[in-house]
Amino acid sequence: MSDSGNERKISRRKLLLGGAATAAVVLVKSSFGKIVQTSLPESSGVTADPTKILGAFPAEIGTRSSFEKLVKKPSFTSSRTPLQALYGTITPSDLHFERHHAGVPLIEPDGYELLIHGLVDKPMVFSLADLKRFPSVTRIAFLECSGNFRTGKMEMSPQDICGLTSQSEWTGVMLSTLLREVGVRSGAGWLLAEGSDAAVMTRSIPLRKALDDAMIVYAQNGEAIRPEQGYPARLFLPGWEGNTSIKWIRRIEVGDQAYMTREETSKYTEEVKGGKIRQFSFDMDARSIITYPAYPERVERGWIEIRGIAWSGRGKIVQVDVSTDAGKNWYTASLPGLILDKAHTQFKYLWYWDGGETEILSRATDETGYVQPTMQQLIAARGESMGGYHLNPVTAWYVQRDGQVFHRPER
């Protein structure tokens, strides 16, 4: 939620004085003068009143307003959702974050096949049409990269800090349905999931998760999943670190133990205290972020609706607390929208800002009782050299006297 890059004052609400009807009619004429029809030829001489010009015809496909500049700030390996510029809980598909290990392969849907083999009774290959023919499931859930934390300077937006989380309505087939089809043999305990990108991305998945809520998804927000999300089909493991939800999935092997792939030995592990390494840290811990007001927003004195999202890989969000005095006092925010399992959940808190310098923070609690920690608590639990994965600290926004909001770096 942002008018960033927009220099105008936020609160221009006008109180019309005088007799309502007459004053209002005058106002209609004057106050709509700013509505422009920019598709008009500049030399046409026609008034810029849109009610005088036939508008554009319906189109084969809609397009975003040219006034809305939304970008994912891509690097060579990832791109980030502009959380501060979004509303509600669904991430537009073209703004879903990306994280690839060797880019986005181009896969022809008619040639797509998924092999399931290994410790199964009947190894099988499923075409995309096969996958769509099975009973389908639709659910709204977030997807988050395990390396979704950056800090270090004041000029950082929610997109910069934690833009590697996005939410979609996913549709596909339960992996358990496919596993029932091939017949998992006794002794099976793990699956190897393999993508068809140039990294041949592979992860070991416990059979328990595969039989619980794992899906092979082929649709996102009403349409086929986007190429950068695994078109034409990907694994989706709700609540688990994003890299395990193998995109462009081509092969699932059922085995009796973890496969110890590159992505779970040299990467996606975390150092913890005592020189130990935490492996298979799949669950994304509960987290929240205030998305309004946040950098680069500038606010005005008065009532401000603090808005944000909270989520947990372990279930539902049950509470979000907000502090408007740098953590001294905490107040329970409202959760006014849908509260879904493993889903971005909106929170809101109405705050009267008196114009003083302060910090605002949010803290999520999920249904397991887990409370989002501070960075100090994370360091205390894991030690200083804990690496860059699974960092979900309470994040503070510093509000200057002039209303400018900045990130308050963690250290």
Nearest-approach distance from CB 25 to a second copy, in angstroms = 8
Distance of closest approach, residue 331 Cβ to a second copy, in angstroms: 16
Minimum CB distance to a second copy, residue 127 (Å): 5
Which DSSP category does 33 fall into?
T
Cα(289)–Cα(350) distance, rounded to whole angstroms? Answer: 16
Question: How many other CB atoms are found less than 10 A from the CB of residue 83?
Answer: 28
Neighbouring residues of 250: CB distance < 8 A, sequence distance ≥ 6: 113, 114, 115, 194, 195, 196
CA distance 277 to 243: 18
**Cα separation, 244 vs 226, whole angstroms:** 18
User: Token digits for 343?
Assistant: 């889903």
CA distance linking residue 163 with residue 144, whole number of Å: 9
- What is the dihedral sign for C-alpha 118, 124, 126, 131? negative
Nearest-angstrom CA–CA distance, 131 and 174: 10
Residue number with CB closer to a second copy (15 or 356): 15
Q: Which two tokens stand for residue 181?
A: 């089809």
Residue 221 or 358: the one with the smaller Cβ distance to a second copy is 221
| Minimum distance from residue 308 beta carbon to a second copy (Å) | 12
Tell me whether residue 111 or residue 275 sits nearer to a second copy (CB atom).
Answer: 111
Whose Cβ is closer to a second copy: residue 135's or residue 274's?
Answer: 135
Give 23 or 381: the residue with its C-beta nearer to a second copy. 23
Identify the CA nearest to 338 among candidates 322, 317, 321, 367: 317
Helices (H), 311-402: 375-382
Q: Which is nearer to a second copy, 161 or 233 (CB)?
A: 233
Cβ contacts of 196 within 8 Å, gap of 6 or more: 105, 107, 248, 249, 250
Comparison of 8 and 411: residue with beta carbon closer to a second copy: 8
